[in-house]
């Protein structure tokens, strides 16, 4: 009885890789995931090199494999058809028990091309300079210079 209670309380977590999504797209995907009775967690992590289109990767120890099929169906009827799905891992991304990785690639985006702001947005630090400046490129295309101590230039 106790074991059944524990399994009823656990939920499959879907890790949504939202690096290329707008705020509204993220909210829409989270809604789809939650409508399937799954827990949604959005991150901004890089995609594995092997992922270039919308994909699902899940743990081979997933207790509710049917949840993957339901999620694929729901995403496909919205604007996110799943091109590939598979158990275990993709690149260096591994998924533990009761987790699903959802990599969403919007139309017109080519992951790993180095051409999108999401891929080049970062903090760049100068080396061997008399004054230590950092260049901060943001996802929205804005940039700023900061001194090493955090002061804006």
Cβ 132 vs Cβ 147: under 8 Å: yes
> Could you read off the pLDDT of 113-129 as tens digits, one per residue?
555 666 667 777 777 77
**Encoded tokens for 20:** 């290329």
Average pLDDT along the chain: 79
Q: How confident is the model at residue 3 (pLDDT cuts 50, 70, 90)?
A: very low
Query: By percentage, how much of the chain surpasses pLDDT 70?
Result: 78
Lowest mean pLDDT among 52-56, 58-62, 103-107: 58-62
Provide DSSP, 114-129. S-SHHHH-EEEE--S-
Q: Which residue has the tokens 């209670």?
A: 5
Question: What distance, in Å, lies between the first and last C-alpha atoms of the chain?
Answer: 63
Check whether 57 has a pLDDT greater than 70: yes
Q: Does the structure show a pLDDT above 90 at 29?
A: yes
* Nearest-angstrom CA–CA distance, 82 and 56: 7
Where residue 65 falls among pLDDT bands split at 50, 70, 90? confident
The helix or strand, by DSSP H or E, that contains position 34, with its residue range, turns out to be helix 23-35
């Amino acid at each position: 009885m106790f074991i059944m209670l524990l399994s009823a309380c656990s939920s499959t977590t879907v890790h949504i890789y939202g690096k290329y999504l707008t705020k509204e797209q993220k909210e829409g995907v989270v809604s789809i995931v939650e409508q399937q009775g799954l827990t949604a967690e959005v991150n901004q992590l890089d995609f594995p090199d092997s992922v270039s289109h919308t994909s699902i990767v899940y743990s081979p120890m997933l207790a509710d494999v049917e949840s993957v099929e339901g999620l694929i169906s729901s995403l496909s009827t919205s604007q996110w058809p799943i091109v590939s799905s598979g158990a275990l891992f993709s690149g260096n991304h591994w998924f533990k028990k009761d987790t699903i990785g959802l990599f969403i690639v919007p139309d017109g985006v080519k992951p790993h091309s180095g051409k999108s702001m999401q891929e080049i947005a970062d903090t760049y630090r100068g080396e061997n300079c008399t004054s230590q400046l950092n260049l901060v490129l943001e996802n929205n295309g804005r940039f700023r210079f900061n001194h090493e101590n955090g002061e804006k230039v």
